Structure 1
Amino acid sequence: MPTESISYSETNYFSPLILDYLSRKKEIGEFYNRYPSVENFREQISEKAENYNQSIRKDLVEVLSDQYRQFEIHSLVEQNFNKLRSDKTFTITTGHQLNLFTGPLYFLYKIVSAINLSKKLKETWPEFNFVPVYWMATEDHDFEEINYFNLHGKKFKWNNADYRAGNTAVGILSTEGLDEVFDLFSAEIGGGEKADYLKNLFKKAYLEHKNLTDATRYIANELFGKEGLVILDAQDKRLKKHFSPYVKNELFEKISHRETSESAEKLSKLDYNVQVNPREINLFYLNSEIRERIIEHDGRFYVHEHDISWSKDEMLKELEENPQRFSPNVMLRPLYEEVILPNLCYIGGGGELAYWMELKSYFDAEKVTFPILLLRNSALLQTEKQDEKRQKLNISLQELFLKQHELINRKVRQISNIDIDFSPQKQHLVKQFQHLYELAEKTDKSFLGTVKAQEVKQLKGLENLEKRLLKAQKRKLKDEVQRIAKIQNELFPNRSLQERQTNFSEFYVEYGKELISALLENLDPLESNFKILTFGKD
């Protein structure tokens, strides 16, 4: 398969913080532990082995075994369960929401990055085992973020009446009502062997499983179980009990707020956008009906907007008896993950890594090993036909990532039979006015303001002429402009990265298993470049 790549900076889609992280800028070194290179993983293994509570492994494997009880366990998954009992085994983890039918393409890229990194580390350090883990965000409660997916430019949305009645974790939501989405999806995807596979995958996941957690596990297991992917729902009392000491610190010491606030302030002073602002208590209270913030007022703890409260002693008792009811928010979830997993590396998108970088000092304060942070693979999938069109239009890969108006303006200037760039005229005008400035200095300095105003006016006039000429040329070159816009719109739906918009089914219906195979074969998790993968003609 033909593949090309460009640097992340050339895409114009990644934040300064992530670009500086990839270039190992010295100023942000305090916000992470080790840079993701193969060599650095050896030190990470030693540190994690020393600091991880090995007794958790028994409960971890027990929970996983129970959660897979109703699912086909692929041989590599079963082997990984057994390996997790050993202190020679470590995990490579990525996390994601329970998006309907996986949501955007980057769901696949995250998991492929975890699988491929596990393989690469095993080749380098054969004396250890490395297990790829998909951490399901079953405790999230933002239903509007996950209840749809995009296919062929259409939005397929799940309207769940049960959710509107409450505000609890999405993982326990009933899949009732998804038969309507299935009917619409089936009509859209059409017929044929690959389409039938997708329809069967959707049907078995959502119409034959009772809740969203099991439905999502089924899909991820079907797509990646053969690669040994382990899928974990961490909302389990047996796991939450190991996190209780940190929950206690959060409730009574508010360590995360103190440490992450300081880190956020440092990042802000370095002119980086702060991804998440911490609360005083970064915990939710969770049961079958609600997931709502815990707040403290005058020494008493309350569930926000609910008639539930505890004294300090009552809260300690509740934590001891029901640790599963304490749900970490985005600031605490990383710590929970690293406490219960023998994890070496977290793989996420740019936004995720940005908030992880707010947490390094918090991990240090809690004496929990901070994982290596790895930016997930990013890719653009195209056909040979689309690539040929791009080349005929003389659009470089770097230009393809420009904002559409910038791309069109640049190409119109290049293909126009007249020169639309008035830069020489502007430079000439500036030189002429320089002489007038010198003259005013020698005669009457009060004249300087008048000269400046006239210079600005004439430069503005040249800019307006340039814009009008460019607009006229766009009309004249209408066919070329439309072809440029069309090819970019095909590859960047909604003027955004394809991986953030398009569902995998749009490509699977064309390429079937070749899609997953191509991603596994061509996405190198330690290659810090944006990949372009070209599939055969459609």
Structure 2
Amino acid sequence: MNVVTDSLKSGSALADDYINHYARVQDLYGADFREDAAWSGRAEWLDASEETRIDRKALVACLRRYNNKHNDHQEVHNSLDLLEQAGTLAVVGGQQSGLFTGSLLVVYKALTIVLAAKEAAERLKRPVVPVFWIAGEDHDWDEVNHTYVMTPELQVAKIKMDAAPGPRGPVSQIEVSNERWKRSLDHLASLLPDSVNKPEIMDLLHQTAEASGNLSDAFAKLLGRLFGESGLILLDSADPALRRLEIPVFERMVKQNDELGETYQTAADRITGLGYPLQAEVAADGANLFYIYEGNRLLLYKHDDVFADRKGIVSFTKEQLETELANHPERFSNNVLTRPLMQDSLLPVLCTVLGQGEISYWAITKDAFAVLGLQMPILLPRMSFTLVSGTVRKQMNQFGLTFQDVQHRFGEARQSWLNAQAHLHIEPRFEETRAAFERLYDPLIGELGTIQSGLLPLGEKNKSKILEQIAYLERKTKEALEKRHEAALRQWDHIAVSLFPNGKPQERVYNIFYYINRYGFGWLQDVIGSCTRYTAEHQIIEM
């Protein structure tokens, strides 16, 4: 396994500047993750603010019950024992609970959390534990109900789990029947090529499905299988026991809702004023809290001290909302802008591991932390990888392709290679032919128009048909050339679908079990072992 760094195209201008040009955006964030002083300063602040967070022992008792059920590893218990002690810090990151863990970036985020916690402990000479925040309270089923693998036919195949009809509440509360699990598992099994690892994979996934009533439970069990031995603590944001601990935090969010809303609005104006698009909606009347009613997760807005959803299904005065919170905390849920505040109110967050989209919308929350007596933690960009098999590397070398060629110039490089095989520059030759034809034909049309005006549109129509025929011949020539070099072009397709499936970075599409099927469970530990230090640079792993 060889690891090299190379750039990956950014999906967010704001996040790209945060990572590569921090001075441009430093006013939008708390501290620069590259500065040692930021880490020591954050640790000192966490020590001084210990009493402002939820009681450690109560939190750890809740997390221990959850991890006993889904992530029962001795190393996890060791992490929980440390977290219970004053002075222990945490590296935290989270993701929605995707089908079979979702795309590779979820695994890479967990890997980053583990590695960053280990490195921070060495840097600060004190305990730092890794925590993965499962966003089970999110209700967008269509974002989590699918994943992708590559088929032997070089197709990007989607495995999807349909939900039963009913309300769209938190994903952790949407039951998944045995029949739906079976359909998804059978589909995955039909797509994965046979290998020595496939029986173990399918056995693991079947056992996980049998023990899981919803996607979040299965997600937790699989993350535990992959990272439990690294001491990764799991937390489900929809855990009812955790929600009861969060009552005081929600109370502050309700009481100081106007102040929080003002900070979000001001930050949004500052971000757009700098020319960056917003990555999260900031409604002027938004309460930035959800209420779960009859299974549906409703976003609340406020008008004249009344909290209600857009359709008016539920409506509360501030006092009624506070009473409802005291009696039914399980009915409350954070939105994308209050989740960071809840995370910091529960855990001693040294740093939070974020993807680029998250880095962008966290800029909206900077001043909101202060409203609740908090400070924005260090934002650590998730580590990013592209896996390159030996076969793909050999094919790239054969065609003289670099990673940047595949990322930015693949179509042009492919056509250029194809043209060279015929010793005929197809596109330039046909372009020359079109130009020569128009150069000769246009004057003729003009002259015909002097004879009779009706001949002018007839000539233009005739010209258009001839150009269509030239274009048709060009297409047929390219098709014939592709047919002649079908085997080589399949290698080109293999490169593209391996590294940038559907034109997207590999890590945003494929599922980890596609790679485990090929390389075994041990390759992930090899990746962890090869990453001796954290880096924000994109890394190419040559398998």
Judge same fold: TM > 0.5, yes or no. yes
Give the alignment's TM-score, normalised by structure 1. Answer: 0.83
TM-aligned CA deviation for residue 210 of structure 1:
2.1
CA distance in 2, matches of 1:298, 1:254: 11
Alignment of 1:321-400 (within 5 A): 321-400=327-406
Does 1:244 pair with 2:243?
A: no
TM-aligned CA deviation for residue 194 of structure 1:
1.5
Which sits farther off after the overlay, 253-262 or 130-139?
253-262
Give the alignment's TM-score, normalised by structure 2. Answer: 0.82
Q: Deviations over 1:358-380 (max 9, x none)?
A: 21122233321211111111111
Alignment coverage as a number of residue pairs: 483
CA distance in 2, matches of 1:366, 1:55: 13
In structure 2, the partner of 1:441 is none
CA distance in 1, matches of 2:132, 2:148: 22
TM-aligned CA deviation for residue 351 of structure 1:
0.6
Alignment of 1:100-499 (within 5 A): 100-126=99-125, 128-152=126-150, 153-161=156-164, 164-176=165-177, 177-189=180-192, 191-235=194-238, 236-250=242-256, 253-279=257-283, 280-286=286-292, 289-305=295-311, 307-408=313-414, 478=482, 479=485, 483-499=491-507
CA distance in 2, matches of 1:367, 1:189: 50
TM-aligned CA deviation for residue 310 of structure 1:
2.4
CA distance in 1, matches of 2:420, 2:367: 51
Which secondary structure does the structure 2 equivalent of 1:359 belong to? helix
CA distance in 1, matches of 2:173, 2:506: 30
CA distance in 2, matches of 1:482, 1:408: 11
Does the 8 Å contact 2:92/2:352 carry over to 1? Answer: yes
Does the 8 Å contact 2:93/2:132 carry over to 1? Answer: yes
TM-aligned CA deviation for residue 56 of structure 1:
2.0
Structure 1 residues 3 and 339: CA distance shift in structure 2, 3 A:
same
TM-aligned CA deviation for residue 23 of structure 1:
2.1
Q: Deviations over 1:419-464 (max 9, x none)?
A: 9999xxxxxxxxxxxxxxxxxxxxxxxxxxxxxxxxxxxxxxxxxx
Does 1:19 pair with 2:16?
A: yes
TM-aligned CA deviation for residue 287 of structure 1:
5.2
TM-aligned CA deviation for residue 416 of structure 1:
9.2
Which sits farther off after the overlay, 303-312 or 286-295?
303-312
Which secondary structure does the structure 1 equivalent of 2:301 belong to? strand
Structure 1 residues 329 and 407: CA distance shift in structure 2, 3 A:
farther
Structure 1 residues 169 and 55: CA distance shift in structure 2, 3 A:
closer
In structure 1, the partner of 2:530 is 522
Q: What are structure 2's unaligned runs of at least 5 residues?
A: 151-155, 429-470
Structure 1 residues 317 and 207: CA distance shift in structure 2, 3 A:
same
Which sits farther off after the overlay, 186-195 or 93-102?
186-195
CA distance in 2, matches of 1:521, 1:156: 31
Which secondary structure does the structure 1 equivalent of 2:307 belong to? strand
Structure 1 residues 130 and 473: CA distance shift in structure 2, 3 A:
farther
Which secondary structure does the structure 1 equivalent of 2:364 belong to? coil
CA distance in 1, matches of 2:59, 2:196: 38
Q: Which amino acid aligns with 2:518?
A: E
Which sits farther off after the overlay, 30-39 or 302-311?
302-311
Alignment of 1:500-511 (within 5 A): 500-511=508-519
Does the 8 Å contact 1:474/1:481 carry over to 2? Answer: no
- Identical-pair percentage: 24
Which sits farther off after the overlay, 68-77 or 257-266?
68-77
Q: Which amino acid aligns with 2:110?
A: I
In structure 1, the partner of 2:464 is none
Which sits farther off after the overlay, 472-481 or 152-161?
472-481
Structure 1 residues 266 and 421: CA distance shift in structure 2, 3 A:
farther
Does the 8 Å contact 1:276/1:355 carry over to 2? Answer: yes
Structure 1 residues 124 and 473: CA distance shift in structure 2, 3 A:
farther
CA distance in 1, matches of 2:6, 2:420: 22
TM-aligned CA deviation for residue 216 of structure 1:
1.6
Q: Which amino acid aligns with 2:198?
A: A
CA distance in 2, matches of 1:399, 1:387: 13
Q: Which amino acid aligns with 2:3?
A: T
TM-aligned CA deviation for residue 418 of structure 1:
8.2
Structure 1 residues 495 and 245: CA distance shift in structure 2, 3 A:
same
Structure 1 residues 420 and 156: CA distance shift in structure 2, 3 A:
closer
TM-aligned CA deviation for residue 264 of structure 1:
1.8
Q: Deviations over 1:377-436 (max 9, x none)?
A: 1111111121011011011222121153344366679999789999xxxxxxxxxxxxxx
Does the 8 Å contact 1:138/1:169 carry over to 2? Answer: yes
CA distance in 1, matches of 2:372, 2:322: 19
Superposition RMSD in Å: 2.8
Q: What are structure 1's unaligned runs of at least 5 residues?
A: 423-466
TM-aligned CA deviation for residue 333 of structure 1:
0.8
CA distance in 2, matches of 1:349, 1:158: 25
CA distance in 1, matches of 2:78, 2:408: 46
Does the 8 Å contact 2:99/2:144 carry over to 1? Answer: yes
Q: Which amino acid aligns with 1:170?
A: V
Structure 1 residues 265 and 409: CA distance shift in structure 2, 3 A:
farther
Q: Deviations over 1:146-183 (max 9, x none)?
A: 1111122221111121xx31021111121212122122
TM-aligned CA deviation for residue 70 of structure 1:
2.8
Q: Deviations over 1:97-128 (max 9, x none)?
A: 010101111111000000011111122222x1
CA distance in 2, matches of 1:55, 1:506: 40
Structure 1 residues 197 and 295: CA distance shift in structure 2, 3 A:
same
TM-aligned CA deviation for residue 259 of structure 1:
1.2
Does the 8 Å contact 2:287/2:307 carry over to 1? Answer: no
Structure 1 residues 310 and 93: CA distance shift in structure 2, 3 A:
same
Q: Which amino acid aligns with 1:202?
A: L
Which secondary structure does the structure 2 equivalent of 1:165 belong to? coil
Does the 8 Å contact 1:36/1:526 carry over to 2? Answer: no
CA distance in 1, matches of 2:231, 2:427: 57
Q: Which amino acid aligns with 2:56?
A: R
CA distance in 2, matches of 1:76, 1:283: 35
Does the 8 Å contact 1:175/1:212 carry over to 2? Answer: yes
Structure 1 stretches of 4+ with a deviation exceeding 6 A read: 412-422, 470-477
Q: Which amino acid aligns with 2:525?
A: S
